[in-house]
Each structure stands twice: as structure tokens, then as C-alpha cells.
Chain A
Amino acid sequence: MKIGPVQWKKRGGGGVAAITFTGDAGNRIDAPIAQGLCQAVEEILFDPAVAVVSISSNGSDFCLGGAPPGDLPDWASALASLKQPIVAVIQGAAVDEGAELALIADIRIASRSARFRWSHLCNGRIPSAGATQRLPRIVGRARALDLLLSGRWLEAAEAERIGLVTRRAPPHRIRAEGSALARSLARKAPLALGYAKEAVVAGADMTLAQGIRLEQDLYVLLQTSEDRAEGVRSFLERRPAKFRGK
């Protein structure tokens, strides 16, 4: 499906919804891209066939910025509302709104030549797609402030060292390894993936005791799922599990 400059498609029964920027104009987020992202999310959100969402670019850069979400359809809140895990496959530069978009993802895999930059403050504005909130939760407060206040480039190697990126690939392999990662996640139990994401993300806003309660309730709820029974059975029978999202 093509929605302006954003394409998204479900990969043949594999459970991955791949959102791809076409690469035009550095994928700067404008009204058509924002609209495309919102529309893709609307169609993916309650689709039980989608276990994992990937976001990548066909161009040389991931995303060079754009208009903040306040001026456009709110693509940032839309993406953050996805229950499915999001994999960002990052090559080239991720700048400003593009770097904020990367923070909304749950797993970031980056090319060895990828670079990040949040230069909002240097340009006289405050990030509004979540960088001041998500960056400290991922890399810690001091590092987040360093990156936001300096507006400096963060190269892939340092990004990995500070935990912003948890996987790296050579530039010529990044697309392939990004897809492989999304597919390997999609082989896991979709309900478990969604609940695990919910436990980590929602739990981060709670006291530890509340978070543990949430985890436990989701854990017990999963005991009623067919996939959990299949997961245990397949393990004991030493064969790959066949999950159905039920």
C-alpha cells in the first residue's frame, strides 16, 4: 500500500508490517508523510495478523527532520500507540524529528555509518516528538542532556555504547539484517510480544511494586492463551512453535 511518500505492506503472512520511507527529500516529515504514518498506524493497530512493525528508509538517510508533530497530524503519538513492537532500521542520518522518531521504536538496529542528532535547542526550539522524555529513559539523564544541549552528532559506535542502539550492521547489510530481525521477532508469540512491550513501557511510569503487579497480571492473563500452551508444548517436544496470535 502506498500512502503518499510512506509505503507500508504486510509481508506475506509473516506478521511484519514494514513501513518504508521512499527516500525523497531526506524523508523530511511533511504533511503527506505525517498523514501516511497516521494512516498506516490506524490500519496496523488492531490487525491481529501484524505481530511486528518495522520502519526503514529506501534513501541514504533515515530521516532528516521535518515539521514538529504539533503542526501536522500527530504521527508521534500515533506510532507510540502501537501495541506491536517497532523495529527502527537506521541508515545514514537521523536528525531532529527523525531522531525523535527513532526513539519511539522499541529496538533500534543501525548501520555502522548511521548518525543521530537532536539539534532542536541549537535552532531555538524545544523537541516536541518526545526526545526530552524518551532519550533520558533510554540513555540516562546526563547523556540525554549532553546530546540535547550540544546538538552534536552521535555516531553509531557511541550510540551502541550508550544503549541507544542495541544492534549494528555493515551499511550494505543493514536492510537485510533489519528485515531478518523483524521476521525473527514475528516468529514469536504476538500476544506475548505486545504484553512484554506493555509491561516494560507502561511499567516504567509506575512504582516498582505497581509495575510488578502489572507484569504479573499480564503474565497470568497469557496463561489463558493458546499460544502459551503451544509454546510450552513445542519446547517440551523440542520443535519450533507455531503461534497464531490467540
Chain B
Amino acid sequence: MRMDATPSAEPVLYDKRGCIAEVALNRPERLNAYDTGMRDSLYETLTAVRDDPDVHVMILFGNGPAFSTGGDLAEFGTAPSPTAARAIRWQRDVWGTLWNLPQITVAAVHGHVVGGGMEMMLLCDQCVAAVGTSMSLPESGLGMIPGVAGTQTLPRAVGTGWALDLVLSGRTIDARQARDLGIVQHLTADSEVLRTARRLAARIARISPPLLRSSKRLVNDGLDYEIAAGLRRERQLARIDT
């Protein structure tokens, strides 16, 4: 993990290594809390990844001491009216874009993974975490609820029991608990997170790109279908791709 604080002129950094895209959240001095600037920049970056047929896997990580602490509260209260906020949310749907990326997405997290930061992680397909990572959804203690799809992605990942506890109580879990819950697939030493994510990404990228895209869609969308419809879709895509 690049722990050095990169000068934060660009709130999101993009790098392409062969067929693997690396997207870095880059406001280390704010623990990668996202403000409007970072969100817009992330939206531009993610749409570029989406439209790049040469990218098959994307790694999302955070520069500095933390992956991300979610929405930057310093900016809250300066927001437009709720109706305007709602319009903007769907005009530039950064979180929907992340979820719907055709590429396989790997979150590489460390340090604090809080609120929208944890939700970003949950929108990715796989997660590599440093053992020292701490995660929480503290919104209810601030008069809010999670707003980056966490109330939807978390129960689908861990069941409603754990999801309700985490969302209602705002409790903090560590990386091992997150692994036991199934939201983290690979635990690594704090200094190894990005390297482990790159190894994972390289391994995934050996699978042929159309298979990656189809299988991701089948699995991620599958819970939205009755199983008969999901099975039909699986058959259709299997015929097309092989």
C-alpha cells in the first residue's frame, strides 16, 4: 500500500497496467473522505473504466492511512435542497456505475473503512483487507442512514441479522470478523494489501474477458430473479460465450 501522502491535486488517480485498472482514492489528508470534487472525479474515472474494453479487472484502493471514511461531513449542510440533492444523485450515478461495471472489481482496503467507504467496498466484487482494518456504518448516530447502497448490499452479503446489527448500532468490526462474515475474501499484512490485490487481479484476468463479464452479471443479478429465470439466463449466456 502506498502510505506516503501523495499531493492531493487530483482526488482520484488512475493507472492502467495491462488489462488491470488501478483507481486510487487520493485525499489522504482527509482519510479519503469524499466531497463533491472526489465524487465527480470518481464518476469520470469509473465511466472511463466502464467504456474501456481492454480493462478486465479494476482495483480500488485508498492512498494514505485509510481506505475511506465516507462522505466528507465538512461539506454536509452546504448541500442544495433535498429535491435538488435527489436529482443530482441520479444524474451522475457514481455508485450505480461502480456496481454495474462490466469488469471484475477488487477493493483493497486498509485503515478506517467507514460509512460510504465501507459501502464502496461492498459494491466491489471481491475484497482484500489488511489485518488492521476497521469497518463501521456510523450513520444512525449522526441522524442519517447509509446512502451508498449499504442497507441493500450488506444484508445480501451477510444476511439480515448481522446487517441490522451493523446498520443500527454502528459497531466497529475488524478485518477478521469481516472475513468470517464473508465480506472480505483475503486477509493480508498491512503492508501487503495492494500487492495481494494485484496478484488476485492478475489471477482473475487469466479468465477470458467475455466469461468474466457474463459470470459477474449472472451472479450479481441472479438474486434479483426467480431461480428459473436465472437458470434460463445462465443457459443463454453459456451458449453465447462458449
Contact = CB atoms under 8 A, between A and B. Distances in A.
Interface of A: 85, 106-108, 134, 137-140, 163-167, 181, 184-185, 187-189, 191-193, 195-197, 199-201, 203-204, 207-209, 211-212, 215-225, 227-236, 241, 243
Nearest to B223: A208
B5 interface: no
Contact of A196 (B79, B168, B181): B168
Contact of A199 (B86, B145, B159): B145
B168 A229 contact: no
A35 B83 CA distance: 43
A207 B141 CA distance: 28
Interface bracket on B: 35 or more
Interface stretch (B51-59, B150-158, B184-192): B150-158
Given A106-B164, A166-B161, A231 B143 contact: yes
A219 B147 contact: yes
Contact of B144 (A181, A201, A204, A231): A231
A241 B169 contact: no
Q: Which of B140, B158, B169, B223 has most chain A Cβ within 10 Å?
A: B140
27 contacts: A107-B164, A107-B169, A137-B155, A188-B140, A188-B170, A189-B141, A192-B144, A199-B145, A200-B155, A200-B163, A204-B160, A208-B149, A211-B149, A212-B95, A215-B147, A215-B150, A216-B89, A218-B145, A220-B85, A221-B82, A222-B144, A222-B145, A223-B79, A223-B85, A224-B82, A225-B143, A231-B142
Given A196-B151, A219-B147, A241 B142 contact: yes
Contacts, number: 157
Given A211-B151, A216-B147, A232-B76, A181 B159 contact: no
Q: Which of B79, B150, B156, B169 has most chain A Cβ within 10 Å?
A: B169
Given A189-B143, A195-B145, A223-B82, 17 more contacts: A137-B155, A138-B159, A138-B160, A166-B165, A188-B168, A191-B143, A196-B140, A196-B151, A196-B167, A199-B152, A200-B164, A207-B224, A215-B152, A229-B143, A232-B143, A234-B142, A241-B141
